[in-house]
Amino acid sequence: MDEDENISIEDYKKILPVAVIIVIVLTSISVLAYISAKNRTPTIVLPGGITYLGPSEAAPTQNSKLKTQNEIQPIQSGKIPIPPDAKWSTQTGRKYPYSFLYPSTLPLGVFPNDPYDAVGIFWNNQDASANLLLRMEDLNQIKEGKEFVAKSKKEYANIWWKQYGYKSVASIEKFTNRNGLTGYRAKYMSDKGQTPYDNVFFEVPNRPELVIWMASGLLSQSVFDRIVDSLSWKTNDQ
């Protein structure tokens, strides 16, 4: 009996350090998980219940390109359905004083700490950064854009396509929306001979270094045109 007890005590002494190590490891994992969750970028809750945690902690620089700019989006065979009687709401910039109207059923979202103050479309589990509707561009922060600060933004639109895989410019048309903003609607030709979607470049009043870029292959032309026509910019004297 004494011999059995001695064996049990010896076994216990061997197991105890291992058990202590396991407890320490599990506790450390739990603490690290808690800290990680606590420090996570705040979730943005958007119309329609769509949520997005935002970009990684390392915010993209102005010269980096978001996914939507690296690849030409194919022509969408199906557009996001918008009910004819949908109410329209106002989306405003968080960093810049732009605003525009959009159908309240359209799942729009923003990206925390985003220097572009971009607005994405959160649809059908697709990457919202690949479906941007609007983005600000600061020409002073873009190597290829500095020379266009003092020029018409039509000239900027005429070279913009070269860095994004298009083949050529199909057309660029100047227009003025209902709020008096001057814009340029560009159609770029892909290597398949298609013009996937419109790219719109707006000049910003009293801010020649800024350009408002808009585009979307997920919306019908009539819906997109109405959004573009509603875009406004609040100046200091307004």
30 with 91, same domain: the answer is no
pLDDT in tens, 142-191: 888 899 999 999 999 998 887 777 888 889 999 999 999 999 999 988 87
In this predicted structure, the answer to whether residue 134 has a pLDDT above a threshold of 70 is yes
pLDDT of residue 226: 98
pLDDT in tens, 101-131: 999 999 999 998 999 999 999 988 888 888 8
Please give the residue range of the domain that contains residue 3.
1-39
50 with 34, same domain: the answer is no
4 with 101, same domain: the answer is no
Contact between 117 and 94 under an 8 Å Cβ cutoff? The reply is yes
30 with 75, same domain: the answer is no
**Residue 144 is assigned to a structural domain of this protein:** yes
How far is Cα 54 from Cα 49, in angstroms, rounded to an integer?
A: 15
DSSP per-residue letters across 32-91: HHHHHHHHSPPPEE-GGG-EE--S-SSPPPTTS--HHHHSPPPPPSSPPP--TT--EEEE
163 with 83, same domain: the answer is yes
171 with 53, same domain: the answer is yes
98 with 186, same domain: the answer is yes
156 with 190, same domain: the answer is yes
**Residue 188 is assigned to a structural domain of this protein:** yes
Sign of CA dihedral 36, 42, 48, 50: negative
pLDDT of residue 96: 97
pLDDT in tens, 48-100: 333 333 443 333 333 333 443 334 444 445 689 999 999 999 999 999 999 99
pLDDT in tens, 14-28: 666 666 667 676 666
**Residue 110 is assigned to a structural domain of this protein:** yes
pLDDT of residue 116: 94
171 with 97, same domain: the answer is yes
51 with 72, same domain: the answer is yes
pLDDT of residue 167: 83
- Total tally of structural domains belonging to the chain: 2
**Residue 184 is assigned to a structural domain of this protein:** yes
**Residue 29 is assigned to a structural domain of this protein:** yes
**Residue 238 is assigned to a structural domain of this protein:** no
C-alpha distances in angstroms, 64 versus 60, 68, 91, 137, 148? 6, 12, 25, 12, 19
132 with 214, same domain: the answer is yes
CATH number at residue 76: 3.40.1000
C-alpha distances in angstroms, 203 versus 112, 179, 182? 25, 12, 6
110 with 15, same domain: the answer is no
**Residue 162 is assigned to a structural domain of this protein:** yes
Q: What pTM, to 2 d.p., does this model score?
A: 0.68
In this predicted structure, the answer to whether residue 212 has a pLDDT above a threshold of 80 is yes
**Residue 57 is assigned to a structural domain of this protein:** yes
